[in-house]
């Protein structure tokens, strides 16, 4: 969501007239959870058009629920899920194609569009671009926050090579002006899959948004005031917990570290953010965190992007938990680095985030995310945090300056502008 927000703002700052086509607020609140405060950071020049996603799925008024849905909400969900792929081959989202395409066409008729940028997932977000290209010849950019058919864990291909969604992706890529990916390994994978389109593939990495990191008075992080080991440290995780992250290993490592380190025995491990990708918290993750409650582990709920600085200020050090994958960078790694705080990088070195933190002066990586190695890293990080001075934080933040979002986006937006200008001159 923050990548999309930053992209729209970056285009607007660059002088483009930007219209964002998105779902209604209700949709985000009910399905994925939302961050309404972050709307304050939308550039006022950006026009927002909102259309409902799937009204019946979002319904909270139980009078509107059918007997079939009540009989088994799981079966009802499953059936809806299966039906959703009729218009667009993406389960759970495909039914949004028609309203999206209709709204995009209406926007174009009101104020002619020169370029469409679709950001996915969901991949149905590429449908308006494809439609406007087919009917009106408008170029489009595919911005992949993930990847449609790449299995992030194995590096293999999801779905059948000649399956419907694969054929559609090929058509989309064939007609796209550019396709953006969040890191080099994903771009390379796509280049192997679609070699004749490789020249149109670009890496537009995530980055930290300076605007969110300067909210509020940044007392301790700004001047790098060292932590007080006498009162114990607060080590924090801020971000969504999902997928195959080494959460149990980290919690077990924390428990061992508490038994071996007096500082950590006095310290707290705090988790902030959503549990899972949906508005309903992942019960398994919640139960796992609860299992370690007596070990100084607490879960304190999600945080608005506008409040992240206050949360980082309450932490003395950070833990970065990511699934093992050479294709996973994450968004939070950039923000973590921008804080200048010590980072326990508890993910496999193969993970793409490793390359982002290479050179960061306060990182405590593990060779393998096992409880033993994580415990050792916790202890090393606590020792460092307890003895560090203001200069350590300042040096780390200075190093991270190159990871800002603008540094990634601006060059591509400039290039797009030039290409469109050249097309106009050439026509």
Partner 1 sequence: MIAPKRVRVLLLVGADGDLPQGGVLQSESTPLAKLFAEAGGALDLTIVSLGTSRAFDGAVDHTRLDRLPPSHTDRLLRSVGAYAVRRQFDMFPIGRLLNSLGPIAPSRVFWRALMKHPDAMQLLRASDIAVATDLETTKAAWLSVHRRWVDDAYYDHRALALALANQPPLSS
76 contacts 68 by C-beta, under 8 angstroms: yes
| Nearest CA among 181, 190, 205, 199 for reference residue 409 | 205
Instruction: Verify binding: residue 198, partner 1, rule CB under 8 A.
Output: no
CB of 405 to partner 1, least distance (A): 22
Instruction: Verify binding: residue 73, partner 1, rule CB under 8 A.
Output: yes
Q: Kindly give the residue spans of alpha helices, DSSP state H, lying in 137-292.
A: 164-175, 184-193, 210-213, 219-223, 247-260, 262-265, 283-291
Q: Which is nearer to partner 1, 70 or 265 (CB)?
A: 70
Q: Binding marks (x or -) toward partner 1, 203..242, rule CB under 8 A?
A: ----------------------------------------
CB of 146 to partner 1, least distance (A): 21
Q: Which of 279, 310, 373, 394 binds partner 1 (CB under 8 A)?
A: 279
CB of 81 to partner 1, least distance (A): 11
251 contacts 291 by C-beta, under 8 angstroms: yes
Which residues between 161 and 180 bind partner 1 (CB under 8 A)? none
Q: Which residues neighbour 352 within 8 Å (Cβ) at sequence distance 6 or greater?
A: 183, 185, 325, 326, 327, 328, 329
CB of 83 to partner 1, least distance (A): 16
CB of 39 to partner 1, least distance (A): 9
Which residues between 284 and 323 bind partner 1 (CB under 8 A)? 286-287, 289-290, 299-304
Which residues between 30 and 49 bind partner 1 (CB under 8 A)? 33-37
Q: Which residues neighbour 317 within 8 Å (Cβ) at sequence distance 6 or greater?
A: 227, 233, 235, 236, 341, 342, 343, 344, 381, 382, 385
Cα–Cα distance measured from residue 75 to residue 70, given in angstroms and rounded to the nearest whole number: 10
Burial class (CB in 10 A: 0-12, 13-18, 19+), 301: exposed
Q: Which is nearer to partner 1, 70 or 83 (CB)?
A: 70
CB of 176 to partner 1, least distance (A): 35
CB of 284 to partner 1, least distance (A): 10
Cα–Cα distance measured from residue 5 to residue 13, given in angstroms and rounded to the nearest whole number: 12
Q: Which is nearer to partner 1, 306 or 325 (CB)?
A: 306
Q: Which of 56, 223, 260, 280 binds partner 1 (CB under 8 A)?
A: 280
Q: Which of 29, 146, 188, 406 binds partner 1 (CB under 8 A)?
A: 29
CB of 299 to partner 1, least distance (A): 5
CB of 319 to partner 1, least distance (A): 18
Q: Is 412 helix (H, G, I), strand (E, B) or coil?
A: helix
∠ CA 167-419-117, rounded to 5°: 45
Q: Which residues of 368-378 are buried (b: 16+ CB within 10 A; e: fewer)?
A: ebebebbbbbb
Q: Which is nearer to partner 1, 65 or 417 (CB)?
A: 65
Cα–Cα distance measured from residue 410 to residue 13, given in angstroms and rounded to the nearest whole number: 10
Q: Which stretch binds partner 1 (CB under 8 A): 29-37, 94-102, 111-119, 125-133?
A: 29-37
Q: Kindly give the residue spans of alpha helices, DSSP state H, lying in 280-352.
A: 283-291, 308-313, 332-339
Q: Which is nearer to partner 1, 33 or 229 (CB)?
A: 33
Q: Which of 44, 63, 137, 358 binds partner 1 (CB under 8 A)?
A: 63
Angstrom distances, CA of residue 342 to CA of 60, 254, 339:
43, 16, 9
Instruction: Verify binding: residue 61, partner 1, rule CB under 8 A.
Output: yes
Residues within the interface to partner 1 (CB under 8 A) = 25, 29, 33-37, 59-63, 65, 70-75, 78, 274-275, 279-281, 283, 286-287, 289-290, 299-304
């Amino acid at each position: 969501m923050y990548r999309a927000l930053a992209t729209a703002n970056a285009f607007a700052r660059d002088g483009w007239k930007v219209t964002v086509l998105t779902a209604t607020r209700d949709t985000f609140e009910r399905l994925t959870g939302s961050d309404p405060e972050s709307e304050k950071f939308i550039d006022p020049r950006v026009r927002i058009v909102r259309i409902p996603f799937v009204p019946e799925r979002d319904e909270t008024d139980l009078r509107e629920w059918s007997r079939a849905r009540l009989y088994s909400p799981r079966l009802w969900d499953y059936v809806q899920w299966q039906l959703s792929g009729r218009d667009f081959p993406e389960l759970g989202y495909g039914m949004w194609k028609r309203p999206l395409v209709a709204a995009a066409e209406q926007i174009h008729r009101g104020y002619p569009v020169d370029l469409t940028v679709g950001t996915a997932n969901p991949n149905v977000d590429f449908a308006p671009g494809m439609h406007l290209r087919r009917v009106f010849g408008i170029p489009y950019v595919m911005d992949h926050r993930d990847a449609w058919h790449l299995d992030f864990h194995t590096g293999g291909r999801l779905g059948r090579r000649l399956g419907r969604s694969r054929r559609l992706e090929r058509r989309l890529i064939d007609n796209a002006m550019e396709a953006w990916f969040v890191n080099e390994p994903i771009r390379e994978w796509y280049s192997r899959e679609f070699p004749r389109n490789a020249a149109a593939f670009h890496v537009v990495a995530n980055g930290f948004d300076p605007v969110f990191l300067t909210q509020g008075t940044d007392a301790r992080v700004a001047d790098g005031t060292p932590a007080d080991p006498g009162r114990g440290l607060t080590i924090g995780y801020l971000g969504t917990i999902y997928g195959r992250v080494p959460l149990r290993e980290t919690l077990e490592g924390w428990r061992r570290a508490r038994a071996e380190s007096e500082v950590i025995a006095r310290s707290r491990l705090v988790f902030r953010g959503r549990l899972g990708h949906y508005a309903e918290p992942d019960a398994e993750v919640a139960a796992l965190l609860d299992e370690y409650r007596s070990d100084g582990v607490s879960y304190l709920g999600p945080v608005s992007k506008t409040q992240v600085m206050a949360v980082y200020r309450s932490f003395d050090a950070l833990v970065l938990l990511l699934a093992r994958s050479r294709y996973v960078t994450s968004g939070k790694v950039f923000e973590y680095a921008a804080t200048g705080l010590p980072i326990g990088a508890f993910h496999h070195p193969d993970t793409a985030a490793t390359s982002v933190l290479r050179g960061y002066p306060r990182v405590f990586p593990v060779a393998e995310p096992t409880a033993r190695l994580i415990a050792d890293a916790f202890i090393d990080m606590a020792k460092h945090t307890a003895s560090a001075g203001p200069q350590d934080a300042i040096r780390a933040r200075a190093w991270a300056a190159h990871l800002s979002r603008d540094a990634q986006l601006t060059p591509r937006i400039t290039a797009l502008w030039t290409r469109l200008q050249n097309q106009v001159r050439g026509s």
